[in-house]
Structure 1
Amino acid sequence: METTVSRLQLIIPAYRMHTQQFNNAIADINETDALKRIEGRTNHIVWMAGNLVNCRYWLASVLGLADKDPNEQLFKDAKALDPAATYPTLTALKAEWHKISPMVFQKLHTITDEELNEAYPFGMGVGFVEENKLNMVGMCIGREDYLFGQIGLMRRILDYPGMKYDIDESINY
């Protein structure tokens, strides 16, 4: 799919790589290991994966899509891990990831520069970051990078092979 939105030409390939990386990040991790924390101090992989999914739903909202994360109460605003909470499985999170991701991808291809320039206050008060939808797209990509790095580290700590960068050509979003 070709985009006519020049301001997103750098973002769309990163978005697609992240879509691919979700599968690679959680590949072969069993559900028991996915809930392990290191010395009770780290987040577990399910929390990280859930935050990735929530980030995609948040981006959908920023871009004007109505779909809501069914697990929002666990992850909204990068809510801290609650050791007493019951978290969804990696399988359920993967299904949500692949439900919302193509919708956001489509929107990234159709959103106009005018829409991207729309104000989107996020309350961080960073003088050099204009609070608009375009910068929210960039912040989402940055958040995803961070979470994939955490999952990659947890894979190694839990004695799984490092995350691969294999591409599944059937995933076109």
Structure 2
Amino acid sequence: MKTTPKSSRMYGLIVLYEMHTDFLLKALDGIDEKDAQKRLETKANHIAWITGSVVQGRYFLAKSFGIDLPSITDELFANNKGIVDDAVYPSIADLKKDWLAISPRLQEALTQLRMKSWRKS
């Protein structure tokens, strides 16, 4: 674990967060930029859209902690917008750059979180 959370209840979440952070980067390794924009002759979401959606989710969560950084995904994914036909989505390289920009900031906010007891009095 890279950082120790202030709340022991957050330990498992932080471990999963770190795994997810690394997993996305490894999952994208070796994917050609032109292939990332392909919908495989279906209406399925392509890799660039899926990755952008995940990146946007992290920025959205960060905003709830007061971390309001701009992302290249802001416009294309505003208001949970689905995939837009004929739109050119950010490159995998740019999405990775955004992912690496927000991830440590959000992780720090999560480690500072103090969880209240869920037990009823």
> Shorter-chain TM-score category?
0.7 to 0.9
Distance (Å, rounded) in 2 between the aligned partners of 1:112 and 1:3: 8
Secondary structure of residue in 2 paired with 1:113: coil
Instruction: With the length of structure 1 as denominator, give the TM-score of the two structures.
Output: 0.62
Show the counterpart of 1:82.
84
Gaps of 5+ in 2: none
Show the counterpart of 2:18.
16
Aligned ranges for residues 79-118 of structure 1 at < 5 Å? Answer: 79-113=81-115
Whether contact under 8 Å (2:36, 2:48) holds in the other structure is: yes
Gaps of 5+ in 1: 118-173
Secondary structure of residue in 2 paired with 1:74: coil
1:46 pairs with one of 41, 45, 48? 48
Distance (Å, rounded) in 2 between the aligned partners of 1:70 and 1:40: 25
Q: CA deviation at 1:113?
A: 2.6
Number of aligned residues: 115
Instruction: With the length of structure 2 as denominator, give the TM-score of the two structures.
Output: 0.86
Distance (Å, rounded) in 2 between the aligned partners of 1:54 and 1:110: 22
Distance (Å, rounded) in 2 between the aligned partners of 1:76 and 1:17: 26
Amino acid aligned to 1:92: D
Which deviations, in whole Å up to 9, do the C-alpha atoms of 1:123-167 show, x marking residues without a partner? xxxxxxxxxxxxxxxxxxxxxxxxxxxxxxxxxxxxxxxxxxxxx
Which deviations, in whole Å up to 9, do the C-alpha atoms of 1:42-68 show, x marking residues without a partner? 000000110111011011011221213
Q: CA deviation at 1:105?
A: 0.6
Show the counterpart of 1:36.
38
Distance (Å, rounded) in 2 between the aligned partners of 1:55 and 1:5: 23
Cα RMSD of the aligned pairs, angstroms, is 1.6
